[in-house]
Every structure is written in structure tokens, then in C-alpha cells.
Amino acid sequence: MYRIKRDQRSAVDAFAALVVVLIIIAGVMGVLLYSQMTAEPHKSPDVLEVEERDEIEFTYTGYLMNTLVFDTMIEDVAIDNDTYPKSLLFEWPEEGVFGAIPVTVGDGVPHYTFEGMARNGEVLEIAMLGMQVNQTKSVVVHPDDGFGDVDPSKIVTLSLTETRDIAETLSWGDFGERFLVPPVVNGTVTDPVWGWDARVSAVQEGPLGPEVTFLNLPEVGDIITPYVGFKSKVISVESGANGGIGEIIVEHLLDSGDVNKVMGDSPHEEGIFAVVGVNQVAGTFVADFNSEKVGVDLLYEITIVSITRR
């Protein structure tokens, strides 16, 4: 009997020892697991992350917050309008050249599409700090960090009808700059803006040098595109009007369905504009010469292409 009790006590002691060992093991595993969860992730010393003064290259796509693309340096994005629908004033790269933009971090973003960005594009440089090659990040840029607020003086009301003289006189130089050919009396040239023919009627000496007089020769009903983005129509040609100078009346073919869907390039002042209003009763339309990047939040999707550390 005594031996049986001794054996039972030994078994209990062994079980208790096993429980203690398991508790210790569980505690150690818990400590190790916690350490793994709270430790900084391991970073290979060979993987560069963008730092101040690094020379990097990056590509990007810019979205208005309604998801329309207004700008990109990625050709596949530029040509794919189904996957990446474009904004009204989408900017095609100068000379059609796509590719990565070189930047020395801290010197700003020296690219024409970022001209006018607050603090020389600092918001994008800050966002790129810590990024690695082939990493992509989305950055929301508010107007204060982007291209500022809307300039009300760049929103102008224009007439739906426009008057041009039949007879015009220009200096020899201005004529050559406009028509890109020298004047020949009785010769015919095509106006590059208005699209109609013009005939040189005289070349004479003026107060400041040689002058060229020519006659614009549109016909009623001609459809022209002086503003590039929409059509206009010649509705009247009166050779005896305006004291014999003659008068051409052109009507711009815009209606309310064109609002925020049509752009123009003014022949009178530099700049592209969006048609943001049409009042056919008043005979006017509203042209907004502000960039569509002003006064709104923008989303830039940036990808790091290369990092060079000097």
C-alpha cells in the first residue's frame, strides 16, 4: 500500500513539474512574440530611402478630386482615355515627351507643369521622403500647398458675336508675323486665326515705315474656328459699313450644353480658357482663364524611379 501511494505522489510531482515547464515556455514565447510585434521592421542596408539632397527621378499622374486626370508623365496613362478619363484642360507634355523627372530633393520640382506651385513644390518633396524605388504614394495637395486660389479677374464675360474689319492695315513686320509670308500686291493669303482668305491691296510708306493694306474676304455662312475649341459662323459681311472700312460679324456657336465641356484659345489674349457659362438671351458667354488646378484639392500619384546618393 505504501509503495502504491509513493508511486502516485511521484506521478503528481512529475505532472506539476511539467505544468510549470509549460507555463515558463508559454511566458517566454509570449515575450518573444510581443518583441516581434513591437520591434521596428527590419530594413536592408542596401535599400535606399529618399533623403534630403538625394538625386531622384519620379513619375506622376495628377487627378482632380473628381478622378479626372489633368496631367501625367506616363504615356500609357495619357493615351488611355477609357481607364483614365481626362479633364477638360488636360495637359499633354511639351513636345510629347514622357518619362521620369529628375529632382535634387530640397531644390524644388523643376518641371513646367509645377510652375506656380506653392514653395516650389515642397509638399511633394516632403511626401517623397522615405520612399523607395518603385514605391508609389498618393498625395492630396490643398490649394495653399498647390496652385493657390481662383483669380476672379481671369473670369471674363465675352460677346457671342464679334466684329472684324474688312480692310486692315499692318506694318510690314506685323504682316509677316501674322501671315508668315511677305506681302505681294493682289496676292492672296489665308488668315491663320480666322481661317478666311485675305487679298493684299496695297503696300505703302507709313509714318513708321512700310505698311500693308489688305482685305479680308469671308463669305456669309463660312464656319471657322478662331477660338480652336469651338466653331463660329460668319453671319454678315457688309463692305460699305463703318465708313467704307467694311464690317464682318461672326457668331460663336455656343449654348448651355457646352458649359464646362468646351475650351477655347483666345486669338486676342494669351491663354486657354474653359467655357463656364453661356447666356444666349444676353448674347454672352463666360470664359475662365484660371488653370483648373487652382482653388481645388488635387491628388498626385507619385512613383519613385531611381535614387542616387552622393
Per DSSP, the residues of 236-272 read EEETTTTTTT-EEEEEE---GGGTTT-EEE-SSSS-E
281 pLDDT more than 70: yes
Please, which residues have CB within 8 angstroms of residue 14's CB and are 6 or more apart in sequence?
A: none
Amino acid identity, residue 56?
I
The pLDDT confidence band at residue 38, using thresholds 50, 70 and 90, is very low
Q: Is 107 left (phi over 0), alpha (psi -120 to 50) or beta?
A: alpha
State percent of the chain over pLDDT 90: 76
Query: To the nearest whole number, what is the mean pLDDT of the chain?
Result: 88
Give just the sign of the alpha carbon dihedral 262, 265, 269, 273. positive
CA 121 to chain centre: 14
- In terms of pLDDT, which residue wins out, 188 or 112? 188
Closest to 199 (Cα-Cα) out of 214, 177, 184: 214
In this prediction, residue 12 carries a pLDDT of 47
Question: What is the model's pTM?
Answer: 0.75
Q: What is the CA radius of gyration of the chain?
A: 35
Burial 149-174 (b: 16+ CB within 10 A, else e): eeeeeebeebebebebebebbbebee
Q: What is the pLDDT of residue 66?
A: 84
